[in-house]
Homo-oligomer: A and B are copies of this chain.
Amino acid sequence: MARGCSCWTSLCRCFFEYETPKVLMIRSRKVGAVNRFIQVVIVAYVIGYVCVLKKGYQDTDSILSSVTTKVKGIALTNSSKLGLRIWDVADYVIPPQVENSFFVMTNLIVTMNQTQTRCPECPYSSVNCSSDKDCSAGFIDVHGNGVQTGKCVNFSNTVRTCEVFAWCPVETDSEPPNPPVLASAENFTVLIKNSVQYSKFKFSKRNILPEINTSYLANCIFNHTTDPHCPIFRLGDIVSEANEDFQKMAVHGGVMGIHIRWDCDLDLPDSWCVPKYTFRRLDNKDPNNNVAPGYNFRFAKYYKGPDNVETRTLIKAYGIRFDVMVFGKAGKFSVVPTLQNIGAGLALLGVVNIICDWVVLTFMKKRTMYKEQKYSYVDDFELLSEETP
Protein backbone atom coordinates (compact mmCIF):
# COMPACT_ATOMS: atom_id res chain seq x y z
CA MET A 1 0.00 0.00 0.00
CA ALA A 2 2.77 2.35 0.95
CA ARG A 3 4.31 1.90 -2.46
CA GLY A 4 1.00 2.28 -4.23
CA CYS A 5 0.47 5.37 -2.18
CA SER A 6 3.82 6.84 -3.13
CA CYS A 7 3.10 6.03 -6.76
CA TRP A 8 -0.16 7.87 -6.49
CA THR A 9 1.51 10.77 -4.74
CA SER A 10 4.12 11.09 -7.45
CA LEU A 11 1.43 11.00 -10.12
CA CYS A 12 -0.41 13.69 -8.20
CA ARG A 13 2.69 15.74 -7.86
CA CYS A 14 3.38 15.31 -11.56
CA PHE A 15 -0.13 16.40 -12.41
CA PHE A 16 0.15 19.59 -10.43
CA GLU A 17 3.54 20.51 -11.77
CA TYR A 18 3.84 23.50 -14.02
CA GLU A 19 6.86 24.10 -16.19
CA THR A 20 7.72 27.66 -17.08
CA PRO A 21 10.93 28.63 -18.86
CA LYS A 22 13.48 30.58 -16.86
CA VAL A 23 13.95 33.93 -18.40
CA LEU A 24 16.83 36.37 -18.62
CA MET A 25 15.51 39.91 -18.58
CA ILE A 26 17.80 42.26 -20.46
CA ARG A 27 17.29 45.92 -19.69
CA SER A 28 18.77 47.78 -22.58
CA ARG A 29 17.47 50.55 -24.78
CA LYS A 30 18.75 49.07 -28.00
CA VAL A 31 17.66 45.50 -27.37
CA GLY A 32 14.31 46.61 -25.97
CA ALA A 33 13.63 48.84 -28.95
CA VAL A 34 14.42 46.06 -31.40
CA ASN A 35 12.20 43.70 -29.44
CA ARG A 36 9.25 46.07 -29.21
CA PHE A 37 9.56 47.05 -32.86
CA ILE A 38 9.35 43.45 -34.06
CA GLN A 39 6.51 42.78 -31.67
CA VAL A 40 4.61 45.80 -32.98
CA VAL A 41 5.14 44.67 -36.57
CA ILE A 42 3.79 41.21 -35.85
CA VAL A 43 0.85 42.44 -33.79
CA ALA A 44 0.06 45.00 -36.48
CA TYR A 45 0.19 42.24 -39.09
CA VAL A 46 -2.05 39.95 -37.09
CA ILE A 47 -4.58 42.67 -36.33
CA GLY A 48 -4.35 44.57 -39.59
CA TYR A 49 -4.01 41.84 -42.14
CA VAL A 50 -5.58 38.78 -40.59
CA CYS A 51 -8.36 40.44 -38.58
CA VAL A 52 -9.30 43.59 -40.48
CA LEU A 53 -8.40 42.86 -44.09
CA LYS A 54 -9.02 39.10 -44.19
CA LYS A 55 -11.68 39.21 -41.47
CA GLY A 56 -10.12 36.24 -39.69
CA TYR A 57 -12.73 36.43 -36.92
CA GLN A 58 -15.45 35.38 -39.32
CA ASP A 59 -16.70 32.03 -40.48
CA THR A 60 -17.20 32.08 -44.23
CA ASP A 61 -19.58 30.41 -46.66
CA SER A 62 -19.46 30.14 -50.43
CA ILE A 63 -22.29 31.29 -52.62
CA LEU A 64 -25.13 29.30 -54.13
CA SER A 65 -26.63 31.08 -57.06
CA SER A 66 -29.33 30.81 -59.69
CA VAL A 67 -29.50 33.04 -62.75
CA THR A 68 -32.28 33.58 -65.24
CA THR A 69 -32.15 36.07 -68.07
CA LYS A 70 -34.72 37.68 -70.35
CA VAL A 71 -33.74 39.67 -73.40
CA LYS A 72 -36.06 42.32 -74.87
CA GLY A 73 -35.86 44.21 -78.11
CA ILE A 74 -37.05 44.43 -81.69
CA ALA A 75 -34.88 44.90 -84.76
CA LEU A 76 -35.96 45.82 -88.27
CA THR A 77 -33.69 44.82 -91.14
CA ASN A 78 -33.91 45.27 -94.88
CA SER A 79 -31.69 43.06 -97.02
CA SER A 80 -31.88 41.88 -100.59
CA LYS A 81 -32.07 38.22 -99.50
CA LEU A 82 -34.65 38.47 -96.74
CA GLY A 83 -36.50 41.67 -97.64
CA LEU A 84 -38.05 43.76 -94.90
CA ARG A 85 -37.98 41.65 -91.79
CA ILE A 86 -38.66 42.07 -88.11
CA TRP A 87 -36.59 40.19 -85.52
CA ASP A 88 -37.79 39.47 -82.01
CA VAL A 89 -36.49 37.48 -79.07
CA ALA A 90 -37.67 34.13 -80.43
CA ASP A 91 -35.66 34.83 -83.61
CA TYR A 92 -32.30 36.00 -82.27
CA VAL A 93 -31.80 34.23 -78.92
CA ILE A 94 -30.45 30.74 -79.63
CA PRO A 95 -31.06 28.40 -77.92
CA PRO A 96 -34.07 30.02 -76.21
CA GLN A 97 -32.74 29.34 -72.70
CA VAL A 98 -29.62 28.03 -71.07
CA GLU A 99 -28.23 28.17 -67.56
CA ASN A 100 -26.11 31.24 -66.69
CA SER A 101 -25.68 32.33 -70.29
CA PHE A 102 -27.51 33.81 -73.26
CA PHE A 103 -26.58 34.36 -76.88
CA VAL A 104 -27.78 37.29 -78.95
CA MET A 105 -27.35 37.02 -82.71
CA THR A 106 -25.95 40.24 -84.15
CA ASN A 107 -25.00 39.21 -87.66
CA LEU A 108 -25.82 36.33 -89.96
CA ILE A 109 -25.28 34.67 -93.30
CA VAL A 110 -28.46 33.02 -94.55
CA THR A 111 -28.62 30.29 -97.16
CA MET A 112 -32.25 29.60 -98.01
CA ASN A 113 -34.07 26.69 -99.55
CA GLN A 114 -31.37 24.08 -99.18
CA THR A 115 -32.28 20.54 -100.20
CA GLN A 116 -30.28 17.33 -100.31
CA THR A 117 -29.07 17.20 -103.91
CA ARG A 118 -26.07 17.87 -106.15
CA CYS A 119 -24.54 21.28 -106.84
CA PRO A 120 -21.16 22.89 -107.49
CA GLU A 121 -18.98 23.30 -104.39
CA CYS A 122 -18.22 26.77 -103.14
CA PRO A 123 -15.03 27.89 -104.97
CA TYR A 124 -11.84 27.84 -102.97
CA SER A 125 -8.38 26.64 -103.98
CA SER A 126 -8.58 22.91 -103.44
CA VAL A 127 -11.85 22.18 -105.26
CA ASN A 128 -11.39 24.36 -108.33
CA CYS A 129 -11.13 22.05 -111.31
CA SER A 130 -10.76 22.10 -115.03
CA SER A 131 -12.05 18.60 -115.85
CA ASP A 132 -13.65 15.61 -114.07
CA LYS A 133 -10.19 14.17 -113.47
CA ASP A 134 -9.56 16.82 -110.79
CA CYS A 135 -12.48 15.55 -108.72
CA SER A 136 -12.69 12.13 -107.07
CA ALA A 137 -16.08 10.56 -106.41
CA GLY A 138 -16.73 9.92 -102.71
CA PHE A 139 -14.02 12.27 -101.46
CA ILE A 140 -14.99 14.44 -98.49
CA ASP A 141 -12.90 17.59 -98.25
CA VAL A 142 -12.32 18.71 -94.68
CA HIS A 143 -13.26 22.30 -95.59
CA GLY A 144 -16.03 21.27 -98.02
CA ASN A 145 -19.78 21.12 -97.71
CA GLY A 146 -20.45 17.64 -99.02
CA VAL A 147 -19.31 14.48 -100.77
CA GLN A 148 -17.75 14.91 -104.21
CA THR A 149 -19.54 13.16 -107.05
CA GLY A 150 -16.50 13.17 -109.35
CA LYS A 151 -17.83 15.70 -111.82
CA CYS A 152 -16.44 19.14 -112.62
CA VAL A 153 -19.21 21.67 -113.17
CA ASN A 154 -19.64 25.42 -113.69
CA PHE A 155 -19.99 27.33 -110.46
CA SER A 156 -20.24 30.58 -112.39
CA ASN A 157 -19.37 31.70 -115.89
CA THR A 158 -15.69 31.89 -115.02
CA VAL A 159 -15.12 29.37 -112.22
CA ARG A 160 -15.52 25.59 -112.39
CA THR A 161 -15.65 23.56 -109.18
CA CYS A 162 -16.18 19.94 -108.26
CA GLU A 163 -19.79 18.89 -107.89
CA VAL A 164 -20.85 17.71 -104.43
CA PHE A 165 -23.80 15.87 -102.94
CA ALA A 166 -24.79 18.21 -100.13
CA TRP A 167 -27.41 20.54 -98.76
CA CYS A 168 -27.67 22.64 -101.95
CA PRO A 169 -27.14 25.41 -102.75
CA VAL A 170 -24.07 25.57 -100.52
CA GLU A 171 -23.21 28.56 -98.37
CA THR A 172 -21.09 30.89 -100.50
CA ASP A 173 -20.34 33.96 -98.40
CA SER A 174 -17.16 33.65 -96.41
CA GLU A 175 -17.18 37.00 -94.62
CA PRO A 176 -20.09 38.30 -92.54
CA PRO A 177 -21.85 41.54 -93.60
CA ASN A 178 -20.28 44.74 -92.30
CA PRO A 179 -22.06 46.75 -90.84
CA PRO A 180 -23.76 43.86 -89.01
CA VAL A 181 -27.32 42.92 -89.98
CA LEU A 182 -28.71 43.30 -86.45
CA ALA A 183 -26.73 46.43 -85.60
CA SER A 184 -29.64 47.65 -83.50
CA ALA A 185 -29.03 44.81 -81.03
CA GLU A 186 -26.99 47.49 -79.24
CA ASN A 187 -30.28 48.83 -77.87
CA PHE A 188 -31.66 45.49 -76.71
CA THR A 189 -32.00 45.11 -72.97
CA VAL A 190 -31.65 42.11 -70.71
CA LEU A 191 -33.25 41.56 -67.32
CA ILE A 192 -30.95 39.40 -65.19
CA LYS A 193 -32.62 37.78 -62.21
CA ASN A 194 -30.10 36.41 -59.74
CA SER A 195 -30.99 34.77 -56.44
CA VAL A 196 -28.19 33.91 -54.07
CA GLN A 197 -28.06 31.86 -50.89
CA TYR A 198 -25.53 31.45 -48.12
CA SER A 199 -26.96 28.28 -46.68
CA LYS A 200 -24.63 28.13 -43.66
CA PHE A 201 -26.05 31.45 -42.44
CA LYS A 202 -29.60 30.86 -43.71
CA PHE A 203 -29.30 34.04 -45.73
CA SER A 204 -30.85 34.54 -49.14
CA LYS A 205 -31.28 37.58 -51.31
CA ARG A 206 -31.87 38.48 -54.93
CA ASN A 207 -30.56 41.22 -57.15
CA ILE A 208 -34.02 42.77 -57.45
CA LEU A 209 -33.57 44.53 -54.11
CA PRO A 210 -36.51 45.07 -51.73
CA GLU A 211 -36.63 48.79 -52.48
CA ILE A 212 -37.14 48.17 -56.21
CA ASN A 213 -40.80 48.38 -57.20
CA THR A 214 -42.59 47.38 -60.39
CA SER A 215 -42.77 50.86 -61.88
CA TYR A 216 -39.04 51.47 -61.37
CA LEU A 217 -38.28 48.07 -62.86
CA ALA A 218 -40.39 48.83 -65.91
CA ASN A 219 -38.27 51.80 -66.94
CA CYS A 220 -34.80 51.64 -65.38
CA ILE A 221 -31.56 50.87 -67.19
CA PHE A 222 -28.41 49.93 -65.28
CA ASN A 223 -25.86 52.70 -64.92
CA HIS A 224 -22.83 52.49 -62.62
CA THR A 225 -23.45 55.93 -61.14
CA THR A 226 -27.15 56.70 -61.44
CA ASP A 227 -28.82 53.24 -61.31
CA PRO A 228 -26.27 50.82 -59.83
CA HIS A 229 -28.96 48.40 -58.61
CA CYS A 230 -31.22 48.23 -61.66
CA PRO A 231 -31.09 44.63 -62.93
CA ILE A 232 -31.87 45.65 -66.54
CA PHE A 233 -28.86 46.12 -68.78
CA ARG A 234 -28.60 47.65 -72.23
CA LEU A 235 -26.39 45.35 -74.32
CA GLY A 236 -24.51 48.33 -75.75
CA ASP A 237 -23.72 49.56 -72.24
CA ILE A 238 -22.39 46.17 -71.17
CA VAL A 239 -19.98 46.13 -74.09
CA SER A 240 -18.88 49.74 -73.72
CA GLU A 241 -18.30 49.32 -69.96
CA ALA A 242 -15.74 46.70 -70.97
CA ASN A 243 -14.10 49.29 -73.24
CA GLU A 244 -15.19 47.54 -76.40
CA ASP A 245 -17.01 48.82 -79.46
CA PHE A 246 -20.36 47.11 -79.92
CA GLN A 247 -20.63 47.67 -83.66
CA LYS A 248 -17.15 46.25 -84.26
CA MET A 249 -17.76 43.30 -81.96
CA ALA A 250 -21.14 42.61 -83.56
CA VAL A 251 -19.59 41.83 -86.95
CA HIS A 252 -17.63 38.69 -85.95
CA GLY A 253 -19.19 38.07 -82.54
CA GLY A 254 -17.52 37.43 -79.22
CA VAL A 255 -17.96 36.42 -75.61
CA MET A 256 -18.72 38.88 -72.82
CA GLY A 257 -18.57 38.16 -69.11
CA ILE A 258 -21.12 39.70 -66.77
CA HIS A 259 -19.69 39.33 -63.27
CA ILE A 260 -21.96 39.69 -60.29
CA ARG A 261 -20.10 39.93 -57.02
CA TRP A 262 -21.85 39.44 -53.68
CA ASP A 263 -19.26 39.99 -50.95
CA CYS A 264 -21.29 40.25 -47.81
CA ASP A 265 -20.29 40.98 -44.23
CA LEU A 266 -23.29 39.53 -42.45
CA ASP A 267 -22.26 41.17 -39.16
CA LEU A 268 -23.49 44.36 -40.81
CA PRO A 269 -27.13 44.97 -41.70
CA ASP A 270 -28.52 42.82 -44.52
CA SER A 271 -29.27 45.84 -46.64
CA TRP A 272 -25.53 46.48 -47.01
CA CYS A 273 -25.21 43.20 -48.90
CA VAL A 274 -25.75 44.31 -52.49
CA PRO A 275 -24.44 42.98 -55.78
CA LYS A 276 -21.69 44.70 -57.75
CA TYR A 277 -21.70 44.32 -61.51
CA THR A 278 -18.61 44.35 -63.68
CA PHE A 279 -18.21 43.53 -67.34
CA ARG A 280 -15.29 42.30 -69.36
CA ARG A 281 -14.64 40.74 -72.71
CA LEU A 282 -13.70 37.09 -72.28
CA ASP A 283 -12.53 36.05 -75.72
CA ASN A 284 -9.29 37.29 -77.18
CA LYS A 285 -9.20 40.31 -79.42
CA ASP A 286 -5.47 40.72 -79.69
CA PRO A 287 -5.02 42.37 -83.11
CA ASN A 288 -1.52 40.89 -83.44
CA ASN A 289 -2.77 37.35 -83.16
CA ASN A 290 -6.11 37.48 -84.80
CA VAL A 291 -6.36 33.89 -85.95
CA ALA A 292 -9.96 32.61 -85.83
CA PRO A 293 -11.58 35.70 -84.29
CA GLY A 294 -15.07 36.10 -82.95
CA TYR A 295 -17.84 33.65 -82.23
CA ASN A 296 -20.23 32.01 -84.64
CA PHE A 297 -22.07 28.77 -85.18
CA ARG A 298 -24.40 27.27 -87.74
CA PHE A 299 -27.97 26.13 -87.23
CA ALA A 300 -30.86 25.36 -89.52
CA LYS A 301 -34.62 25.69 -89.65
CA TYR A 302 -36.21 22.68 -91.29
CA TYR A 303 -39.31 22.80 -93.50
CA LYS A 304 -41.26 20.32 -95.52
CA GLY A 305 -42.62 21.35 -98.89
CA PRO A 306 -45.96 20.23 -100.32
CA ASP A 307 -44.17 17.34 -102.07
CA ASN A 308 -42.94 16.16 -98.63
CA VAL A 309 -39.34 17.04 -99.49
CA GLU A 310 -37.32 18.44 -96.57
CA THR A 311 -35.78 21.83 -97.16
CA ARG A 312 -33.90 23.95 -94.71
CA THR A 313 -32.67 27.46 -94.15
CA LEU A 314 -29.06 27.39 -92.98
CA ILE A 315 -28.03 30.26 -90.77
CA LYS A 316 -24.46 31.03 -89.84
CA ALA A 317 -25.08 33.10 -86.74
CA TYR A 318 -22.50 35.57 -85.48
CA GLY A 319 -23.23 37.10 -82.14
CA ILE A 320 -22.30 37.82 -78.58
CA ARG A 321 -22.56 35.19 -75.89
CA PHE A 322 -23.01 36.72 -72.47
CA ASP A 323 -21.79 34.48 -69.65
CA VAL A 324 -23.22 35.50 -66.30
CA MET A 325 -20.83 34.55 -63.48
CA VAL A 326 -21.75 34.98 -59.85
CA PHE A 327 -18.98 35.25 -57.26
CA GLY A 328 -19.20 35.87 -53.57
CA LYS A 329 -18.23 35.04 -50.04
CA ALA A 330 -20.12 35.82 -46.90
CA GLY A 331 -18.59 36.15 -43.46
CA LYS A 332 -20.13 36.21 -40.03
CA PHE A 333 -18.49 36.32 -36.59
CA SER A 334 -17.79 32.89 -35.20
CA VAL A 335 -15.83 31.71 -32.17
CA VAL A 336 -13.77 28.94 -33.77
CA PRO A 337 -12.00 30.94 -36.53
CA THR A 338 -11.45 33.82 -34.09
CA LEU A 339 -9.65 31.56 -31.62
CA GLN A 340 -7.72 29.88 -34.43
CA ASN A 341 -6.42 33.21 -35.65
CA ILE A 342 -5.57 34.48 -32.17
CA GLY A 343 -3.73 31.22 -31.52
CA ALA A 344 -1.84 31.51 -34.79
CA GLY A 345 -1.00 35.14 -33.98
CA LEU A 346 0.35 34.25 -30.51
CA ALA A 347 2.37 31.41 -32.03
CA LEU A 348 3.84 33.93 -34.42
CA LEU A 349 4.95 36.08 -31.46
CA GLY A 350 7.34 33.24 -30.61
CA VAL A 351 9.20 34.14 -33.77
CA VAL A 352 10.00 37.54 -32.22
CA ASN A 353 12.33 35.82 -29.74
CA ILE A 354 14.18 33.95 -32.43
CA ILE A 355 14.84 37.14 -34.36
CA CYS A 356 15.73 39.23 -31.29
CA ASP A 357 18.08 36.58 -29.89
CA TRP A 358 19.85 36.52 -33.20
CA VAL A 359 20.19 40.31 -33.21
CA VAL A 360 21.24 40.52 -29.57
CA LEU A 361 23.81 37.72 -29.60
CA THR A 362 25.34 38.67 -32.93
CA PHE A 363 25.38 42.45 -33.24
CA MET A 364 25.32 43.91 -29.70
CA LYS A 365 28.57 45.06 -28.13
CA LYS A 366 27.83 43.28 -24.89
CA ARG A 367 26.93 40.04 -26.62
CA THR A 368 29.52 38.04 -24.66
CA MET A 369 28.03 39.18 -21.38
CA TYR A 370 24.51 38.35 -22.55
CA LYS A 371 25.72 34.95 -23.71
CA GLU A 372 27.29 34.18 -20.39
CA GLN A 373 24.07 35.02 -18.63
CA LYS A 374 21.82 33.24 -21.05
CA TYR A 375 23.66 29.97 -21.44
CA SER A 376 24.68 27.34 -18.96
CA TYR A 377 26.70 24.40 -20.23
CA VAL A 378 26.75 20.69 -19.67
CA ASP A 379 29.71 19.13 -21.42
CA ASP A 380 29.51 15.52 -22.38
CA PHE A 381 32.71 13.72 -21.51
CA GLU A 382 33.20 11.92 -24.82
CA LEU A 383 33.31 15.16 -26.72
CA LEU A 384 35.60 16.87 -24.24
CA SER A 385 38.05 14.01 -24.24
CA GLU A 386 38.51 14.48 -27.95
CA GLU A 387 39.00 18.17 -27.69
CA THR A 388 41.41 18.44 -24.78
CA PRO A 389 44.14 15.88 -25.15
Contacts and interface: CB of A to CB of B under 8 A. Distances in A.
24 contacts: A13-B387, A16-B383, A17-B25, A18-B27, A18-B28, A22-B24, A22-B373, A24-B378, A28-B378, A64-B325, A65-B282, A68-B283, A72-B143, A74-B146, A88-B166, A96-B299, A99-B101, A191-B292, A193-B292, A195-B284, A303-B303, A343-B351, A366-B380, A373-B376
A223 interface: no
A83 to B, nearest CB: 8
B88 A383 contact: no
A81 interface: no
Question: Could you say how many copies of this chain the assembly holds?
Answer: 3
Interface stretch (A152-160, A206-214, A235-243, A268-276): A206-214
Interface stretch (A127-135, A175-183, A354-362): A354-362
Interface string A130-170: 00000000001011111100000000000000000111000
A332 interface: no
The 10 closest A-B pairs by CB, nearest first: A16-B32, A66-B282, A28-B380, A96-B299, A90-B300, A303-B304, A95-B95, A206-B284, A22-B22, A18-B35
Contacts of A144: 74
A287 interface: no
Contact of A374 (B22, B289, B343): B22
Given A208-B289, A380-B28, A312 B90 contact: yes
Contacts of A212: 289, 291
Interface string A31-45: 111111000000000
A314 interface: yes
Nearest to A74: B140
Contacts of A90: 298-300, 312, 314
A97 B321 contact: yes
A51 interface: no
Nearest to A45: B339
Given A96-B317, A217-B292, 16 more contacts: A16-B31, A16-B383, A17-B25, A18-B25, A18-B35, A27-B378, A70-B296, A74-B144, A85-B116, A86-B167, A95-B98, A96-B299, A98-B98, A208-B284, A217-B291, A303-B304
Interface in A282-329: 282-284, 286, 288-289, 291-292, 295-306, 311-312, 314, 317, 321, 323, 325
A100 interface: yes
Given A22-B376, A347-B348, A376-B24, A145 B74 contact: yes
Contact of A20 (B348, B374, B382): B374
A338 interface: no
Given A20-B360, A22-B376, A378-B25, A346 B354 contact: yes
A353 interface: yes
A103 to B, nearest CB: 6
Given A16-B28, A24-B376, A297-B97, A346 B351 contact: yes
A7 interface: no
Contacts of A214: 291
A22 B386 CA distance: 27
A204 interface: yes
A350 interface: yes
A52 interface: no
A336 interface: yes
